Structure 1
């Protein structure tokens, strides 16, 4: 076992007890059924080496990590000016399902969600993905994930999709408010794309490879440029400022690497020109971030001097 893998095993052992301090997301029944004790990490380096520790529970859904990929697709479709005319670039400091700051901009010419990493912003981004049909649009998102991860088996978990769709009162309300503000037009179609992209399933290694692709400014593990460098830089910046919900500022100070979390307990991290990291730990804190996953990344960053700041 190489030094890196031994170190990752020590991190898992050190922080396994932290899983007792949180619990899986309760508002989506399928996610509530996840094993709260599960904890795993995979790292893929720029040399293409893969290291892992813990017990990755096979496939799990991206949830909010999908917001990064959908933003990538929308930016490639529409360009920066069109996207950021509709969605802001600022962190909110509020929960991911809040519209509070947008309500405060009532006097501005155009109300818009403050960033693409909150639910309202992600819905607007979903509405900007090109395609003649819903299936064409979701398949384009899945294709980018396959290109970044190198895994042709990436798929939608329809059980999670149905569970999320059936319990989505808050998101449905947000979507209709966005329609009132003329930010989206086709509410149900936008919601369907939003639920489906959240339910895309990957493995720990896939997350790490997605992180590596971003760390290499859009080049995947095979060296293929699958997304433009300029787009990779934009989404990494959002990961730093908005990627960990309303815990993003603290994460930037304590960890200091581009990362995005999802309420499945997943985290993707991109350490520029060094490695990509994928973590799954379904036990969440009150902000919706993996309790053990945060601590693992904090120690990894401090002990290996990975902060970009």
Structure 2
């Protein structure tokens, strides 16, 4: 397996020259666009790695999978989906257009920024610190990595430049989608996006979802099979932003990307995949990571369709 992964990294590294690192969050612009790595972990306990798999990067939108899971555990489906829809948008992840033009004015799904901010607002806790600690501890349990922390530089950079997210959040409070202190809600959101991981951590999140909400290493059941299935379904329909349909055809597995360059992949009942390549395509997905996942899916016939 590691020979295959190495071959796919070498083959797709040239794709990184066609992408660009995210720069709208200034601290993200420091990433090396040529980095490309992958980790695959399976239910037999094997961990296969290749390329720049140990480079640290921030979760960004990959965090939306577990924040959705926690909000569903805290509130139940009915309450969450009263405020956030279930449909793909066809728009960029940070678009504000449909918030104002559709009725009722609620985000179309939990994987775009507006929807994820609304989801984060529903995580229970006395204050921003308690809400974030609950979320961070979930990530630590799922990955088995007690050292997970935020990247302070990325967090402060996001907080300083997150005006579009602020605009969406204040609009949503105005129309009753979110309640409470907007700045506190955004602080939790910026922190969850800034959790620092590597490909192994991401692969273990994928394996947890592949294993129906049970951490394979500890056998701890963290969420229900149903909630895990809801999260994976959103990954298929909305996880790769407005390239989700194309990704479903070409790769065919539940996946969630982040502008930090990571992609989380899930092969149900089999494996979790973590990919890192900070050079992004025009839709905000890792261009090299997409290529590696496409080739891996074709080689191993991973598509769920």
Q: TM-score range by the shorter chain?
A: over 0.9
Aligned to 1:287: 283
Structure 1: runs of 5 or more not aligned: none
Q: How does 1:153-168 map onto structure 2 within 5 Å?
A: 153-168=147-162
| Alpha-carbon shift at residue 57 of structure 1 (Å) | 4.8
- The DSSP-based 3-state class of the residue aligned with 1:84 is helix
CA–CA separation in structure 2 for the residues paired with 1:245 and 1:153: 29
Name the CA distance, whole Å, in 2 between partners of 1:171 and 1:99: 9
Q: Which residue of 1 aligns with 2:60?
A: 63
* Structure 2 counterpart SS, 1:156: coil
> SS in structure 2 opposite 1:269?
strand
1:98 maps to what in 2?
Answer: 95
Equivalent residues in 2 for 1:108-257, closer than 5 Å: 110-185=104-179, 186-222=181-217, 223-257=219-253
**2:258 corresponds to 1:262:** yes
Give the length in aligned residue pairs.
303
TM-score (norm 1): 0.96
- Please name the residue that 2:45 is paired with: 48
Deviation at 1:228, TM superposition (A): 1.6
Cα deviation, 1:122-165, whole Å, max 9, x if unaligned, reads 11101100000111100111111111111111111111000111
Following superposition, the deviation at residue 190 of structure 1 comes to 1.0
Q: Secondary structure at the match of 2:133?
A: helix
- Given that 2:148 and 2:196 are in contact with CA atoms closer than 8 Å, whether structure 1 keeps it comes out as yes
Is this contact kept in 2: 1:71–1:235, CA < 8 A? Answer: yes
Query: Does the 8 Å contact 1:60/1:202 carry over to 2?
Result: yes
**What is the alpha-carbon distance in structure 2 between the residues aligned to residue 29 and residue 148 of structure 1?**
29
53-62 or 148-157, which moves further after superposition?
A: 53-62
Match of 1:275 among 264, 271, 277: 271
**CA distance, structure 2, for counterparts of residue 101 and residue 142 of structure 1:** 31
Secondary structure of 2:41 counterpart: strand
**Counterpart Cα distance in 2 of 1:18 and 1:208:** 22
Q: CA deviation at 1:215?
A: 0.5
RMSD: 1.0
CA distance in 1, matches of 2:100, 2:249: 29
Structure 2, gaps ≥5 residues long: none
1:292 match: secondary structure: helix
- Mapped to 1, the partners of 2:54 and 2:43 lie a distance apart of 25
Shift of 1:242: 0.2
Distance in 2 (alpha carbons) for counterparts of 1:76 and 1:179: 23
1:20 aligned partner: 17
Q: Which runs of 4+ in 1 moved over 3 A?
A: none
State which drifts further: 270-279 or 95-104: 95-104
CA–CA distance in structure 2, aligned partners of residues 152 and 131 of structure 1: 21
**Which whole-Å deviations, capped at 9, do the CAs of 1:187-227 have from their partners, x for residues lacking one?**
11111111011001112101000000001111113132122
